[in-house]
Structure 1
Amino acid sequence: MADTDPDELERRIARTRAELADTVDAIADRVSPKRVAERTVADVKTRATHLVTSVGDALGVTQRPVEYADDPDRLWAEEQPSLAPVLIGVGVVLVVGAAITLWRRRRRRF
């Protein structure tokens, strides 16, 4: 029939079975609900960290590690951005808008 020794065939079959078992275990681990949930949580944490970093960079706030003994009311005390320029800008826009509205109303009457 073939020149292959029966013992060699049995070793090949055993090796193939072991490889197949490893493959099935890897697939089962990959589609396991627990593993899918762990990967999803890790992905959400990574995305949230990137979002917080981006928002912090846009606001000029730098991250620093929070210690257990930190006072919650003072966490942002040293690094809190100044809102004064934003508030002044909003105030100027409101005043100019109100002035233009009043000017137009007076112009219509005459």
Structure 2
Amino acid sequence: MADTDPDELERRIARTRAELAHTVDAIADRVSPKRVAERTVADVKSRAEHFVASVGDALGVTPKPVEFGDHPEGVWEEERPNLAPVLIGVGAALAVGAAIVLWRRRRRNH
């Protein structure tokens, strides 16, 4: 029973109370509606920025920073994307699809 010194027990109790208070404050901060909303807004903003950047990459344009109230036409830099490869790909896909449909109809009719 070496740890029965009342002063030592009081110090341990005080330290445990302080640690517990710190933990409770951290939990309360984490689940507070304000903090949850802030984290959600930050997450949505990050996902939106990533989406805009990936759309810009796919179209070959560069998004530029905008502020609330800016005109929507000013969101992209003035460089024009080269849509020829995209249009050629879409046309090729449509041609292949039409050929498959025609081929299946001919097989059914014969």
Among the aligned pairs, what percent are the same residue?
Answer: 74
Residue in 2 aligned with 1:40? Answer: 40
CA distance in 2, matches of 1:48, 1:10: 53
Is the partner of 1:24 in helix, strand or coil? helix
Deviation for aligned residue 1:82 = 4.6
CA distance in 2, matches of 1:35, 1:29: 7
Contact 2:63–2:76 (CA<8 Å) still a contact in 1? Answer: no
Distance 1:39 1:63, change over 3 A: same
Give ranges in structure 1 of 5+ residues lacking alignment: 98-110
Deviation for aligned residue 1:62 = 1.6
Per-residue CA deviation, residues 23-70 of structure 1 (Å, 9 max, x unaligned), is 000000000000000000000000001100100000000233458xx9
CA distance in 1, matches of 2:34, 2:75: 35
Give ranges in structure 2 of 5+ residues lacking alignment: 99-110
Distance 1:44 1:59, change over 3 A: same
CA distance in 1, matches of 2:45, 2:74: 25
Is the partner of 2:39 in helix, strand or coil? helix
Larger radius of gyration: 1
Deviation for aligned residue 1:5 = 1.1
Is the partner of 1:38 in helix, strand or coil? helix
Aligned residues: 90
- For 1:44, the aligned partner's letter is V
Residue in 2 aligned with 1:64? Answer: 64
After superposition, the CA RMSD in angstroms is: 2.9
Is the partner of 1:29 in helix, strand or coil? helix
Q: Does 1:11 align with 2:1?
A: no
Instruction: Using structure 2 for the length normalisation, give the TM-score.
Output: 0.64
Is the partner of 1:8 in helix, strand or coil? helix
Q: Give runs of ≥4 in structure 1 deviating > 3 Å.
A: 64-67, 70-77
Instruction: Using structure 1 for the length normalisation, give the TM-score.
Output: 0.64
CA distance in 2, matches of 1:40, 1:71: 26
